[in-house]
A and B are shown apart, each in its own frame.
Chain A
Amino acid sequence: MKLSLITILCLGFGAVFATTEEPVPVEAAHDFIQSHCINCHNDRKQKGDINLRPLLHDAASVDLELLVSVFDQLDLEEMPPEDEEQPTIDEKSKMLAFLNAAIKASGSSTINKKALPGYGNYVDHKALFEGALSDSASAPPPRIWRYSPESYSERVNRIVGHDVVKFVPVATFPLPQKGLKHPAFPYKGPAHTAKDYATIHDFGLTETELLIGLAEELSAAQFNSGSLRSYRNLPPGDAEWKRLLNDQFRKLYSRTPTDTERRSLFDLQKSVAETSSIQTANQTMISATYLRPESLFRFEIGTGRSGASDRAPLSPLEYAYVVGFALNRAGPTPEVVNKFERYESKSKPNLKGLIRPLLESEEAHRRIMRFMDEYFEYGYAAYVFKDKHHRRYRPSWLIEDAESFISRIVKQDRNVLKELLTSSEFNVRGAFNTKSAPKWFQDETNGHLFYHAIYNLEKEDLGKDPEWRDFQKKRAGILTHPAWLLAFSDNTKNHAIQRGRWIQTKLLGGVIPDTPVEVDARFPEDPALTLREKMLVVRKEECWRCHQRMDPLGLPFEQYNLWGMHRTTELNRPVDTTGELNGEAVGDPIEMLHRLGDSKHVHQVFLRHVFRFFSGRNETLGDAKTLRDMESAYYKNKGSLKESLLELLVSDSFIHRQKFPPKK
């Protein structure tokens, strides 16, 4: 069974390790095993229940799951352990080649995990920002990228003229955040990552079945009440169809159909008309336009003209699309498409000049806010269930406050990350009728008990209107905002571990290995113990290896209770808010967040996440120059996120693609 699971995993994401024609470096691999593995994983001392001696005899006979696990741990630098002697790059690559051959011999293949959502931090940070840059500019592979559910919906609703595609929170997989989606377009990535990754989204059987129904629904809407309602019975072959089809293509693909495309659609229309009504034939033809790959995927192939042998720029239309969708979920308008004609001939400053107005648009602001939502994850607060008073507390109000806080900083566009991590000014709603209303009205309807009190505000402090309030010394930045704190809590406790994990992966660029599926850690239920005391159970060696990277970063947030209220005591004792950052003690969350906000490294990690969201993929070492240019633009422009983003949009990483067939 496990074999088949591994196989499914491998097949699901596509094997990317190219078949090597080179001989398998068996001797080098055996030396590697003897030097780096066998001391701990031998017949007698099977650390972690793992014995790697059989690898020395007949690697292909070793359990496939173990082979894949060894490959991943080596590739992702989880092994050998940090405190052991590390292999050279050459030794490591030979060992990986050896394992790759053994896995292939078992009928499976390895996957490039570093390309998957959630694994971006495994790309060497130091090499990205400090390593030598390659002489020749590199380019990512060509790709097709499924439209996001929001983009698809915007586009097709623009055609049918009203909201046919319902935006609904469809799945428990994964938990819907702010993004609502049609079930034919589910997000399939793991939690805590940017959602719209190009690598993992396509159309399988279930989605395609739903898609066909959706296409029929859209087509019917066009004929029943939309732009085609006068043409229901227009016979196939009528010259008017050419104009109508041109129009449909322009709306869907920003271009007119080729003769071949037009002919094949008319052939479909005629074939259906032979056995069915004209209306059915017409609707079927229009349905087909919604099911063509071009309706579902953005093509980033690199079909522009190029003198280089190994890479090519995106065509003007492709480039208009990548920029258009980066800054507007509805994609580029026809005007934007026109704007990018002959973009290749423009210098970078001129190109930036073309894009800058788009970046100042309300749509671009919404895209940046979407990034902030996916990055900080405060939207999850809406899905956290609290038994006590669950009907009365209002996470949606708190989420709006968090958005207001972030939006102001994004609009100011100065020292963006530092402000996000340290600003103590939050926008808080007012309360109507604070004087004469009965107590229940003030407490509940006005929300004092379940909203203002979370900010530690007293009733007498409240005015009618929303106010920007300074919570200096009590809060600093979005990670101390009640919405974020609630998002990382549950019914009975704070999620100190998950908070620490967030900081480790999203600010420090660290990695936390996948949680073993069998782990079901249970904290003691003794109500006399604080969470910090209960968490001592993870100090066992096998747990602490990972938990030491999270817990000391998450525990300072014990400064806030289960509802996100600032507190000074816990269980009638002074609350312990100490933690550890980069091996140094911190006294409380505010101190920690100011240190994080001043860190250059943290800013670089933040920009890596910006890159992932807007590129729909993880960065590679080939993107090092782009990331450094983004960093440079950020600092040169006083911490401007928009200038940094602009640098990304005109970078080689964005504009070029490897020539296909891809380089091996």
Chain B
Amino acid sequence: MEKKAFSNKSAESSHARLYSRHEFLRGLSLSAAGSVLLNPLVGKLSAEVEGRSQPTRLLFVMEGNGCPPNQVHPTNLNLTPIGKRQQTVEESFQAEDLPIALKPVSDYADRMLILQGISGRICGGGHSTYFGALGCFNTREGKHVLGPTLDYEIGRHNETLFKNISLGISQRSHLDIVFNSSAAGANNPIGTICNPQTAYKRMFSPIGDQKNLAVKTHLLDYVKDDIRSVKRRLGSVEKDKLDRYLSAYEEIGQRHSAIADLDPGVKNRIDPITEKYRSSNPVDRLECHFELATSALVTGLTNVATIASGVGHQDFSIVFDKLGVGLQKHSIGHALYNKEPVAIEASEKIRTFHFELIARTLKKLASIPEGDGTMLDNTLVVYLSDAANEHHTKCDEWPYVILGGNPRMKLGGRCLTYADFENKGHRTVNAIHNTLLHSSGHPVNDFGFKIPGLDHGVQEGPLSEIFI
């Protein structure tokens, strides 16, 4: 079996060598015979190799501080101001029509969909909607997590080792983890890992590491026995708490075991850990997180990843000094209200950087054949801001940029501007979430919380203009 390595070069080179995912997946052989039955990941991947199913993947890229609609609007199209949108309008654009921030993904214009005018008032507003952006609820400044977020909800159905992964950057660069964007349920936030080394260690270090697995297994077995012994002693007292603690060890043990069972050669196909993983600079960290997320998607460790780039009031005011931007994002957000040229330039520069990183991911996915096409045909990158359209948002309109491919989604260089809130044709963000659930094979029509009294047709079901 021929094994070929992925590297940064393959992602960045314009002549990236096409590498067969079929071939790649075959490389994920197990070291122990018969483990297929115990390892859902490999079982699923084997099925993919044999063409029995194609996974659908999602990468959410959520950038803090709002996304002004004009910054992602094609230059050949007029952006009708909010309040004057009588009906939903569909228009098309070409690569050369893309605004500055989207130029890096111009190779993928025919795989791009821009959504304007969709409202998210159910999420409240302020500097950030936090978990509400992916959960469709009002967190009231991050204080209340009312339900699961979309990334978890889609990921939990997958037979991957990680149901979903959350990575991100924060102005509080000393923190390894923050809680700001993803949740597994009410009052159950999922940590966003901000330190790329921590994320790498968690996901990729155990690959093929049988020796460390043995140590870890002994440790976990000891703790599990100890918890069971406490449970026996206490009977029904606090059974739920102890069960939860015990089941965490069981899940961690199974995951460790499955990752350790992977061929160590898989590590060669993951973007290697480099010096920038030690950096606390947000630009470096963001690059690392895109590499990590892409590697996790490519290896099938997960099918759903979220990159939270400065999400939440305490995490968003980052200085992207390495991009030549000396202003904090908070100041930029304010200055945009005054249309200060320096702020517009800074904001576009930072957004452009995000789309440069998205472009690298797209390129890598496009370089790996899958089924009759490439991995890109089955992967969507969804770009949005947790503060919808502006620094102090009320979520009256929420720009989205969706790129990549999904057999059940019609993208194709289109820009849809939805009618205003009170007009026929308006849709809320619930509908986008429903669309992504449908296109991932989970036909949910009423994701998230809804505004009572508002016509159900506005909030329920997928977006008919997109979902095929």
In the complex, residue of chain B having the shortest beta-carbon distance to the beta carbon of A658: B237
B245 — which chain A residues lie within 8 A by C-beta? Answer: 202-203, 208, 293, 296
Q: A390: shortest Cβ distance to chain B, in Å? A: 9
Residue A209 lies at the interface, judged by CB distance under 8 Å to chain B: yes
Contact: B215 with A280, CB < 8 Å? yes
Q: Given known contacts A173-B145, A520-B138, A661-B235, is B190 in contact with A14 (CB within 8 Å)?
A: no
A387–B330 alpha-carbon span in the complex (Å): 10
Contact B215 A661 (CB under 8 A): no
Contact B236 A660 (CB under 8 A): yes
Instruction: Name which residue of chain A comes closest to B251, CB basis.
Output: A205
Stretch at the interface among B99-107, B180-188, B261-269, B360-368: B180-188
Complex contact B447–A183 (CB within 8 A) = no
B191 on the interface (CB 8 Å rule)?
A: yes
Q: Which of B185, B218, B230, B249 contacts A208 (CB 8 A)?
A: B249
Cα distance, A206 to B219, chains bound together (Å): 18
Contacts of A173 in B (CB 8 A): 130-131, 142-143, 145, 179-180, 189
Shortest C-beta distance, A63 to chain B (Å), equals: 12
- Give the chain A neighbours of B140 by CB distance below 8 A: 515
Q: Which residues of B contact A287 (CB under 8 A)?
A: 219
Nearest residue in B to A16 (C-beta to C-beta)? B240
Chain A positions 457 through 471: 1 when the CB is less than 8 Å from some CB of chain B, otherwise 0 = 000000000000000
A436 to chain B: which residues have CB within 8 Å? none
- A541 → chain B, closest Cβ, in Å? 15
Q: How far is the CB of B429 from chain A (nearest CB, A)?
A: 13
Q: Is the CB of A170 within 8 A of B179?
A: yes
* A5-13, A421-429, A439-447 - interface stretch: A5-13
Interface membership of chain B positions 68-101, coded 1 if the CB is closer than 8 angstroms to chain A and 0 otherwise: 0000000000000000000000000000000000
- B244 in the interface, Cβ–Cβ < 8 Å? yes
Of A49, A183, A204, A265, chain B has the most CB atoms within 10 Å of the CB of A204
Tell me how far the C-beta of A271 lies from the nearest C-beta in chain B, rounded to whole angstroms. 5
- A518 near B450 (CB under 8 angstroms)? yes
The residues of A that contact B451 with a CB separation of less than 8 Å are 518
The listed residue (A171, A210, A275, A293) touching B226 by CB distance below 8 A is: A293
CB within 8 Å of B: which A139-182 residues: 141-144, 168-175
Contact status of A518 and B449, CB under 8 A, knowing A168-B174, A268-B222: yes
* A-contacting 9-mer, from B294-302, B308-316, B369-377, B398-406: B308-316
- Most B C-beta atoms less than 10 A away, residue of A170, A294, A387: A170
- CB neighbours (8 Å) of B432 from chain A are none
CA distance A472 to B132 in the complex (A): 45
Q: How far is the CA of A272 from the CA of B148 in the complex (A)?
A: 39
Which residue of chain B has its CB nearest to the CB of A171? B179
Partner of B248, one of A170, A200, A205, A268: A205
In the complex, B241 has a CB within 8 A of chain A:
yes
* Alpha-carbon separation in the docked complex, A296 to B175 (Å): 23
A-B contact count (CB 8 A): 184
Q: Contact at A49–B242, with CB atoms within 8 Å?
A: no
- Minimum distance in angstroms from B312 CB to a CB of chain A: 5
B125: CB under 8 A from chain A? yes
Q: How far is the CB of A408 from chain B (nearest CB, A)?
A: 31
Instruction: Report if A284 contacts B (CB, 8 A).
Output: yes
Closest to B181 in A: A172
Q: Is B178 within 8 A of A517, CB to CB?
A: no
CB distance from A214 to the nearest CB of B (A): 11
- A196-246 CB contacts (< 8 Å) to partner B: 200, 202-210, 212
User: CB-nearest residue of chain A relative to B124?
Assistant: A520
A341 to chain B, nearest CB (A): 22
C-alpha gap A370/B127 in the complex (Å)? 29
Q: Would you call A188 an interface residue if the criterion is a C-beta within 8 Å of the partner chain's C-beta atoms?
A: yes
- CB contacts (< 8 Å) of B219 on chain A: these are 212, 268, 272, 284, 287-288, 291
**Interface residue total, chain A, C-beta cutoff 8 A:** 68
CA distance A556 to B451 in the complex (A): 33
* Residues in B whose Cβ lies below 8 Å from that of A14: 240
User: A205 contacts which of B179, B252, B444 (Cβ < 8 Å)?
Assistant: B252
Known: A5-B147, A9-B186. A212 touches B252 (CB 8 A): yes
The verdict on B463 contacting chain A, using a C-beta distance below 8 Å, is: no
Bound-complex Cα distance A202 to B245 (A): 7
Verify if A662 is at the interface (C-beta below 8 Å from B).
Answer: yes
Verify B394–A209 contact, CB threshold 8 A: no
Q: B18 an interface residue at 8 Å Cβ cutoff?
A: no
- A296 to B188 alpha-carbon distance, docked (Å): 19
- Give the chain A neighbours of B447 by CB distance below 8 A: 1
CB 8 Å contact bits of B132-149 with A (1 = contact, 0 = none): 000001101111111110
CB-nearest residue of chain B relative to A275?
Answer: B214
Residue A334 CB within 8 A of the other chain: no
Contact of A172 among B137, B215, B314 (CB under 8 A): B314
Tell whether, in the assembled complex, residue A276 and residue B211 are in contact, meaning their CB atoms are under 8 Å apart. yes
Most B C-beta atoms less than 10 A away, residue of A1, A170, A171? A1
Bound CA–CA A385/B334 (angstroms): 13
Contact A208 B252 (CB under 8 A): yes
CB pair A275–B215 under 8 Å, yes or no, is yes
Contact B122 A518 (CB under 8 A): yes
Contact present for B186 and A170 (CB under 8 Å): no
In the complex, B234 has a CB within 8 A of chain A: yes
B238 interfacial by beta-carbon distance below 8 Å: yes
Question: What B residues does A172 contact at CB under 8 A?
Answer: 130, 142, 178-180, 312-315
List the A side residues contacting B146 at CB < 8 Å: 5, 517
> Is B143 in contact with A292, judged by CB distance below 8 angstroms?
no
| Cβ contact of B453, chosen from A12, A49, A209, A268, cutoff 8 A | A49
- Contact status of A288 and B252, CB under 8 A, knowing A170-B178, A171-B178, A293-B227: no
- The answer, yes or no, to whether A301 is at the interface (CB within 8 Å) is yes
A522 located at the interface, meaning its Cβ lies under 8 Å from any Cβ of chain B in the complex: yes
Contact B189 A171 (CB under 8 A): yes
In chain B, what residue has the closest Cβ to A390?
Answer: B330
Chain B: minimal CB distance from A173 (Å): 4
Q: Mark B239-261, 1 if CB is under 8 A from A, else 0.
A: 01110110011011000000000
Contacts of B142 in A (CB 8 A): 172-175
Whether the pair B237, A143 counts as a contact (CB closer than 8 A) is yes
Instruction: Give B171 Cβ to nearest chain A Cβ, in Å.
Output: 12
User: In chain B between 275 and 319, which residues have their CB closer than 8 angstroms to a CB of chain A?
Assistant: 312-315
Q: Does A190 contact B (CB under 8 A)?
A: yes
The listed residue with most B CB atoms (<10 A of its CB), out of A206, A280, A662, is A206
- B65 CB to closest chain A CB (Å) equals 13
* Complex interface residues of chain A between 1 and 29 (CB less than 8 A to chain B): 1-2, 4-5, 8-9, 12, 14
Please list 28 pairs of residues, one from A and one from B, whose beta carbons are closer than 8 Å in the complex, sorted by A's number: A1-B448, A5-B146, A5-B148, A8-B186, A49-B453, A143-B237, A172-B180, A173-B145, A183-B175, A183-B176, A188-B187, A190-B143, A204-B188, A204-B248, A205-B252, A208-B252, A210-B177, A264-B226, A268-B218, A272-B214, A275-B215, A276-B214, A292-B226, A296-B245, A518-B138, A518-B450, A520-B124, A662-B236
Extra contacts, 18 of them, besides A272-B219, A662-B237 (Cβ < 8 A), are: A4-B148, A5-B186, A8-B147, A8-B185, A12-B187, A143-B238, A171-B178, A175-B143, A204-B188, A204-B244, A208-B252, A212-B219, A268-B219, A288-B219, A288-B226, A301-B237, A522-B394, A661-B235
| 8 interchain residue pairs of minimum CB distance | A208-B248, A8-B185, A171-B179, A172-B142, A202-B241, A173-B179, A268-B222, A172-B312
